Amino acid sequence: MILVSLILIPLVFGLASFFFKGNDAPKTFALIASVLVLATACYAISLPPGSLTYSRSWLSVLNSNFSLGTDGMAKILVLLTAISYPIIFIATRNNQYKDANQFYALMLLTQAGLMGVFLSTDCLLFYFFWELALIPAYFLCSKWGGDKRIQVSFKFFIYTFVGSLIMLIGIIYLYSKTSDHSFAWSSFTKVVLTEQEQGYFFWFFFIAFAIKMPIFPFHTWQPDTYEQAPTATTMVLSGIMVKMGLFAVARWLLPVFPQMAVKMADTVMILSIIGMIYASLIAMKQDSIKRMIAYSSIAHIGLMCAALFANNAAATQGVYIQLFSHGVNVIGLWIVANAIEQQTGTTKMSELGGLAHKAPVLAILLVVMALANIALPLTNAFVGEFLMFNGIFAFKPIFAVVAGVSIILAAVYTLNMIQRVFLGEASAFLKVTDIPKNTVIALSLIVVMIFVMGVYPKPMFHLGEQVMGWVTAK
Amino acid sequence: MTNVLQYAWLVPIFPLIGFLIIGLFRNNLSKQMVGIIGCGSVLLSFIVSVWLFSNVNADEAHVARYFDFISVGKVSIPFAFQIDQLSAIFLLIITGVGTLIHIYSTAYMHEEEPKHFARYFAYLNLFVFSMLLLVMGANYVIMFIGWEGVGLCSYLLIGFWFKRTDYNNAAKKAFIMNRIGDLGVLLAVFWMMQKFGTVNFTDLFAAIAKQHGEGTLSANDPALVGITLLLFLGATGKSAQIPLYTWLPDAMAGPTPVSALIHAATMVTAGIYMIARSNIMFTLAETTSNIVAIIGLATAVLAATIALKQNDIKKVLAYSTVSQLGFMFLALGVGSYTGAVFHVMTHAFFKALMFLGAGSVIHGMHHEQDMRNYGGLKKYMPVTHGTFLIGCLAISGVPLFSGFFSKDEILMGAYANNPVLYFIGLAAALMTAFYMFRLYGMTFQGKFRGDEHHHPHESPKAMTIPLVILAILAAIGGFIGIPALFKPNAHALEKYLAPVFEGSAKLAKPHEINHNTEWGLLIGSTIVILAVIAFAWNKFSKYQKTGVEETGMGKVLENKWYVDEIYNAAVVKPLLGLGAFFNSVIEKSGIDKLVNGVGRGLQYLSRQFRHLQSGVIGNYILIMVAAIVVLFLLGFGFTPDIKAIKNLFGK
Amino acid sequence: MPINYYIYLAVILFCIGVAGVLTRRNAIIVFMCIELMLNAVNLLLVAFSKMHYAKAVLIDPNTTVGTDAQLFVFFIMVVAAAEVSVGLAIIVLMYRKVHSVDINFLNRLKN
C-alpha cells in the first residue's frame, strides 16, 4: 500500500492543485505534496526489499495486473524522484508561471508517472506510466516554454512518442509469446524467443529507451527541449525523466533479452561512446549554458548506457550510483543556470562574465556543481564514474580509453563555462546581486548530498546491492 | 610503537578543519584570525608529522583502515592511510615547507581584501589537505583523490586573481593538462585492478613480488609495462615533464608563495612520489624505466635551454623547476629511487627558498617581474639577497650545499647506468648553474635599472624569517645523504628509506662505479660548474638593457621552442574545429536535419494528399469507381476458383 | 433465355450510368444516371432470383429460394424514390442558390 501511496499522493495532490487560484497557494501546496512524497519514500526505502509489493487485478481481460514492487535500483530512483521535487520547488519558487495552479498540477502528475514507471512490475502498467510521465511534460513545455516552445515540444513529443509506440509493439508481441499470457515482469523474463525475434525486438525496445535517455544519434530533441522548456520542467526532464530510459534498459531490456544484450553489447557501447565524445565536443562549442549542460548530460548518459552493457557487477553498481548522482548534480546545474537567467535575463556565455564579483555564493556553489559534473574525487559522481570506467575497462580496455577522453573534454567545457560566466572582469550586468535564499537552500542541499555521497557512498551501495539479489533471485 | 601511528589521521584533519573554518566564515574573520588559523593548522600537522616520522615502523608499513570507500564485488577500496618511511618524509616536506610558506603568505598577501585573503588561505589549506591525502593514501585510489585534489587547488590558486583572463587561461590549461595525465593514472588503476585484483600498495606489491618470484610474472611483462607507462603519463602531467610540461611555466600566474609551495616544492613532486611508491613495478618494467630516464633527461635539457633566455624572474624559476624535476625522473629511471627522493627534498628547500626570494623581490619591486628592470637589489634587500645566493649555490651544485649531494647522487646513478646519460645530465646541470647566476646577477648585482619610483625595499619579518630558515636547510640539508665515497655508511636517508625500496633493490642489477672514476667525475664536474658560475656572475653583473631583440636561436629559446604554438596548432585548434564541425555540420545539418526532415517529409506528403480532397464531386466518384474496378480486378486475382466464375458466365 | 443476356444488359446499363455520372456535369442527368445504375442492379437481382427459383422449383415445388432477392428490389425502389425526392429537392435548392445545376459549383464544400 505504501507503494501505491507513492503514486497516489502526487496524483491526487496534482489533480487537486487544478482547483487552486492565485500564484502562491499552488506553490506551497505542491511543496507540501512533494515533501509528503519524500517522507513516504524515505519510509518505503527503509523497509526490506521483499516486504514491498502490491498487486491488484487491473485489466483482467488482458490479464494485466496493477502490480508494484521495488528493488534497490527502483528504490534509488524513487529516492531521487522524491528528493528532487522539493528541491526543484524550492529552487524555482521565485519563478513566476502564469496559471500556476495548472503548472504545479502538471508537475505533480509527472511525478506520479515517474514513480509509477520505477515501481511497476507489470509491463502494460509500466507503459501506462511511461506515457503518463510524458504527456504532462509535453503540456508543460508547450505552454510555459520559451519562444520556440510549440515547435520544440512538438518535436519532443513526437520523438518520444514514436519510441513509445515502437516499444508498445514490442510489448504486445512479447505478451503474445508469454506462456501464461500476462504482462508481469516475471513472465516476460521467461519468454522464449528465436534468435531472429530477439534481434528485432531487442532493437524495438532499445530504440524506445535510447530516445528517452537519449543516446547518440537519437538525442536531437534533447538540447532544444532543455533550452525551451520552463526550467523546473527541464530539471525534471534531465534529472529524472531521462533516467527512465536507463532504468528501463536495466529493468526490462537486459533481463528479457539476456543473450541479445551480450551479443549487442559491443554495438551499443560503441554507439554510446561515440555519443559521449561527440556530445562533449559539441558542448565545447556551445554559447548557451543550457545547451552546454544538455550536451554534457548526453555525454554522461552515454557513459551510463555503455556501463550497463558492460555486464559486470562493478559497472552496474556504478550506474545505480550514478543514476542518483547525475540526477542530483544536473538539477544543481540547472538551478544555477536558472539563477543566472533570473538575475541577468540571459544564459549566453558571451554576454555574461565576472559574475563571481557580484554573486560570490553562487560562484562557489556553481564551482562545486561543476566539479561534481567532471567527477572530481570526493564528489558523488566520482564513485559512480570510477566504477563504470572500471567495469568498461574490464569489458574492453579500449572502450575505457576512448571513453576516458570525455573526462578530459568534460574538464575543458566545464572550466570554460566557469571562466566565461563567473571569472574575468565584471560585465555590464550591474544590477546583479547574489542569489536569493531559496536557491541557496536548494543548492546547499545538493552540495551536502554531493559530498556525503562522495566521501561515504556505502549506504548507496547498500541500496544498490538489493538490485542484484532481486534480479538473480528470479 | 604502533600506537603513535594510529593518530596519522590527525595530520590531514587539521588543514581540513582550517579550510572549513576559513572557507565558511571567510566574511566574518579578520585577516589576523585567518592567518593564525591557516598557519596554525599546518603547523599542528607538522608537529604530528614529526612525531610520526620519529616513530615509523622499522620493518613494515603501518596501514590504518578507516572505512570502506568503495566496495562492490571484486572491487574493494578501503579508505586507508599508509605510514612508512617514504610517506613520512613527504609529510615532513609538505607540512614543514607548507608552514613556512603559510607564514610567508600572511605578509605577501597582506594587500588583499579580507575576503580574498581568507579565500587564499582556504585554498592553501585545502591544498595541504589534498597533498597529505596523496602521500598518505594506502592505495592508488586514495592517492588519486589527493592527486586530483591538488590539481583542483592548483587550478583555484593559479586563477586566484580571477579578473585577469590570461591568469584564468593559465589555470584552465594547468587543470586540463593534468587531467590528461589523470586519465593515465585512472586507466592504470583499472588495469592493476584487473590484473592483480587489488590496488592497495602493500597487497599489490606483495602480489607482484610473489608472482615474479614464482615466475608467473616476467620482468618487462606487457601488462606491467602498460601500467607503468600509464602511471608515468600521469606523472608527466602532474610533474610537468615532456610532453605535458607547458602548463607549469604558465602556472606562474598564481601568487608567488603558491608557486613556491605547489609548483616547486610539493605538488609537482607528486609524480616522483608515485613512481617511488611503485618502485617495484618500475624496476620490473625495464622498458618503462628507460623511457622515464630518457624523458626526464630530455625535459631537464629542454627546460634548461629555455630558462637561459627568459627575462621574467618567475619564468626562469619555473623552467628551472621543470628541469630539476627532469633530473628526478632521470634518477627514478636509472633506479636511484633514494636519489630522486633526496633531490625532491633538497629541491623543496632551495626552490621554495628561491621562489619565496623572488616573491620578496617582486613584493619589494611592487609587482615588477621583469629582470631587465632589476639590478643592484643587493643593496636594498640584504636578507633576500643573502638567502637567494645560498639557494643559487645549492641548485647549481656547489660542493657542501644541499643540491650538490642530491645532484651528485643522481648523476652518479646515471653514470653507472650509462655514461651518455651522465654527460647530458651534466650539460643540463651546467646550464642550470648558468641561468641561475644569470638571474642572480641581473637581479642583485650591478646597478638598479628600474623606475626610480619603484623604491625597492626589504620585505617584512614574516617573509624574511621563512627565507632564513629555508636558506639554512638549503645549505645543510644535504648532509643527510653523504655519499659512500666520502664516508661509508653515512647516507642517513638511504638507510632510512631502505625498507621502502627493499623490494626493488633485490631485483635491480648492481651497478658499481670505481671510486677513482667517481672522484674524477666529481672533481671535474665541480670545477666546470664553478667556472660557469664565475662566468655568468661576471657577465650578468654588468648587464645593461640593450633593447635589441633576440635573433636566431636566442629567439627560439625565448619563445620556448614554440611548443605552445605547436600544441595549439596540433591539438587545441583541431579539437575545437572538430567540435565546431560536429556542432554546425553533423548536428544541425546532419542528424537534426534528418530528424526534422522526417517531419517535413510527412508534412509534404500530407500536403500532396490533400490535393486529392479537391471538393470536386466528379473526382471523388472517379476515384471511387477506379477503386471499385481495382478491387474487382484484385478480387479476381485473389480468387483461384476461376471455374466457378466460368460456370457463372458459361453454360 | 440464358442469364448471360440479363447480365450483359445490366453491365451495359451500369456502365452507362457510371459514365454518365463521371462525365456529365448537369446534376439532373447525373441523378438519372444514378437511377440507371440502381436499376441495373435491380434487373440483375430479379434475373438471378428468377433463375435460382426456376432451378429450385424443379426439385421442390414449394420452394421459396430466390424470392428474397425480389424483396431487395422493392427496398431499392423505395430507397430510390426517397432519394429522388430528397435529391431533386437539393437540386432545386441549388438552382435557387447558384442559378445552375452544374455540379462543379458544389465544390464549395471544400472550404
Instruction: Give the pLDDT confidence score for residue C2 in this predicted structure.
Output: 81
Taking the Cβ of residue B68 and every Cβ of chain A, the question of whether any pair is shorter than 8 Å is answered with yes
> What cell was used for A91?
529552487
Q: Where are the alpha helices (DSSP H) in B454-545?
A: 461-476, 492-507, 515-541
What digits encode the pLDDT tens for the residues B369-401? 888 888 888 888 888 899 999 999 999 988 888
Residue of B447 and B135 predicted with greater confidence:
B135
Q: How confident is the model at residue B651 (pLDDT cuts 50, 70, 90)?
A: very low
Give tens-digit pLDDT for B348-362.
999 999 999 999 888
Residues of B with CB under 8 A from a CB of C: 613-618, 621-622, 625, 649, 651
CB contact under 8 A, A424 and B165: yes
The pLDDT tens digits of the residues spanning B212-249 come to 888 888 888 888 999 999 999 999 999 989 888 889 98
pLDDT grade for A348, boundaries at 50, 70 and 90: confident
Min distance C71 CA to chain B CA atoms (Å): 23
The verdict on C16 touching B (C-beta cutoff 8 Å) is no
Contact B172 A419 (CB under 8 A): yes
> Of C2, C22, C106, which is closest to B625 when you measure between CB atoms?
C22
Place of cell 571562466: A419
CA distance B604 to chain C (A): 20
Which pLDDT belongs to residue B637?
62
pLDDT reading at A85 higher than 90: yes
DSSP H helical ranges for B263-336:
270-277, 279-284, 286-307, 313-333
* Averaged pLDDT, A170-184: 87
The residue in chain C having the minimum alpha-carbon distance to the alpha carbon of residue B619 is C22
Set of chain A residues whose Cβ sits within 8 Å of the Cβ of B187? 393, 397, 400-401, 404
Residue A235 above 80 pLDDT? Answer: yes
8 Å CB contact between A288 and A348:
yes
A39: its cell numbers: 517522507
> To which H or E segment does residue B403 belong?
helix B402-417
Could you report the per-residue pLDDT of A205-225, keeping only the tens digit for each?
A: 999 999 988 888 888 888 888
Residue A468 has pLDDT above 70, yes or no: no
B37, B22 Cβ separation under 8 angstroms: yes
pLDDT in tens, A17-26: 888 887 788 8
Amino acid at B579: G
Mean pLDDT of A438-467: 87
Please report residues of B whose CB lies closer than 8 A to that of A422: 162
Give the three-class secondary structure for C57. helix
Output the pLDDT for position B324. Answer: 92
Task: Give the closest-approach CA distance of B9 to chain A in angstroms.
Answer: 15
Contacts of B638 (CB under 8 A, 6+ apart): none
- Are the beta carbons of B649 and C106 separated by less than 8 Å? no
pLDDT on residue A469: 43
Q: Over chain B, what is the mean pLDDT?
A: 86
Q: Is the pLDDT assigned to residue A1 strictly greater than 80? A: no
Residue B7's pLDDT band (cuts 50, 70, 90): confident
The pLDDT profile of chain C, 111 residues, written as one tens digit per residue, is 788 899 999 999 999 998 888 888 888 898 899 899 999 999 999 998 888 888 888 888 888 887 888 888 999 999 999 988 998 998 898 888 878 888 776 666 554
Q: Examine the pLDDT at A399 and tell me if it is beyond 90.
A: yes
How far is it, in rounded angstroms, from Cα A58 to Cα A328?
34
- Rounded Cα gap, residues B442 and B542, in angstroms: 8
Left, alpha or beta for B400 (phi > 0: left; psi -120 to 50: alpha)? Answer: left
Q: Under an 8 A CB cutoff, do A285 and B68 touch?
A: no
Cis peptide before B419 (omega within 30 of 0): no
Name the minimum distance, in Å, from the CA of B629 to any CA of chain C.
Answer: 12
Q: How are beta strands A64-69 and B62-72 bridged, if at all?
A: unpaired
Grid-cell match 551480450, residue found: A262
Contact B313, B361 (CB under 8 A): yes
- Best of B20, B25, B71, B72 to disrupt the A interface (most A CBs within 10 Å) is B72
ipTM value: 0.91
Helices (H), B109-221: 114-136, 140-158, 165-196, 201-214
Q: Do B614 and C25 touch (CB under 8 A)?
A: no
High-pLDDT (> 90) share of chain B, %: 35
pLDDT, one tens digit per residue, over A147-166 is: 888 888 888 888 888 889 99
Alpha-carbon distance of B196 to B644, in angstroms, equals 82
Name chain B contacts of A407, Cβ cutoff 8 Å. 179, 182-183, 186
Please check the confidence at residue B2 and state whether its pLDDT lies above 60. no
Q: Chain B residue closest to C25 (CA)?
A: B618
- Whole-angstrom CA distances from B535 to A147, A377, B387 are 73, 50, 21
A5 torsion bin: left (phi>0), alpha (psi -120 to 50), beta (else): alpha
Q: How far off is chain B from C11, nearest CA to CA, in Å? A: 13
Q: Does C108 touch chain B (CB under 8 A)?
A: yes
Smallest Cα distance from B599 to chain A, Å: 9
pLDDT at B213: 85
Task: Report percent pLDDT > 70 for chain B.
Answer: 95
Residue B580 cell numbers, joined = 565546431
Confidence of residue A429 (pLDDT cuts 50, 70, 90): low
Beta bridge partners of C3: none
pTM of the model: 0.86
Q: Which of A97, A107, A128 is nearest to A33 (CA)?
A: A107
Among B615, B622, B649, beta carbon nearest to C107: B615
Percent of chain A whose predicted confidence (pLDDT) is above 70: 96
Q: Which of A97, A92, A131, A102 has its CA nearest to residue A114?
A: A131
pLDDT tens profile A189-210: 888 888 888 888 899 899 999 9
- Measuring CA to CA, how many Å separate B500 from each of B77, B82, B89, B339? 22, 12, 12, 13
Cβ separation B616–C107 shorter than 8 A: yes
Nearest-CA distance B582 → chain C (Å): 46
Optimal mutation site among A73, A153, A281, interface B, most CBs of chain B within 10 A: A281
On the question of pLDDT at A473 being above 60, the answer is no
Banded model confidence at residue A474, pLDDT cuts 50, 70, 90 = very low
Grid coordinates standing for A377? Answer: 574525487
Round to whole Å and give the CA distance between B296 and B332: 9
Give the closest of B614, B618, B622 to C103, CB-based: B618
Q: Do chains B and A touch (3 or more CB pairs under 8 A)?
A: yes
The cell for A308 is: 550497463
Name, of A241-250, A358-367, B539-548, B596-605, the range with top average pLDDT.
Answer: A241-250
Q: Do C109 and B615 touch (CB under 8 A)?
A: yes
How many cross-chain Cβ pairs, A to B, lie less than 8 Å apart?
A: 133
Which cell numbers in the block locate residue C49?
Answer: 432470383
Q: Give chain A's end-to-end CA distance (angstroms, integer).
A: 23
Q: What is the pLDDT of residues B452-481, one digit of tens each?
A: 666 778 888 888 899 999 999 998 888 888
Q: Is pLDDT at A113 greater than 90 in this prediction?
A: yes
pLDDT, tens only, B312-349: 889 999 999 999 999 999 999 998 899 999 999 999 99
Dihedral (CA of B307, B309, B310, B311) sign: positive
Please give the pLDDT value at position C64.
82
Q: How confident is the model at residue B162 (pLDDT cuts 50, 70, 90)?
A: confident
* Touch test C–A: 3 Cβ pairs or more under 8 Å: no
The per-residue pLDDT for A471 is: 44
Q: Which residues of A touch B163 (CB under 8 A)?
A: 354, 357, 423-425
Residue A459 is predicted with a pLDDT of 86
Contacts of B145 in chain A (CB under 8 A): 377-378, 382
pLDDT tens, position by position, B112-134: 888 889 999 999 999 999 999 99
In the block, cell 426456376 appears at: C54
CB contact under 8 A, B614 and C109: no
- Mean residue pLDDT across chain A: 87
- The answer to whether C1 faces chain B, any CB pair under 8 Å, is no
Buried b (16+ CB within 10 A) or exposed e, B329-359: bbbbbbbbbbbbbbbbbbbbbbbbbbbbbbb
Whether B651 and C106 lie within 8 Å, measured CB to CB:
no
User: Which residues of chain C does B614 touch, with a Cβ-Cβ cutoff of 8 Å?
Assistant: 107, 110
Interface mutation vs chain B, best among C11, C16, C21, most B CBs within 10 Å: C21
Q: In Å, how far is A5's CA from the nearest CA of chain B? A: 32
Chain B contact for C62, CB < 8 A? Answer: no
Selecting from C4, C109, C110 the residue whose C-beta is nearest the C-beta of B649 gives: C4
Residue A98 has pLDDT above 50, yes or no: yes
In single-letter form, the type of residue at position B242 comes to: I
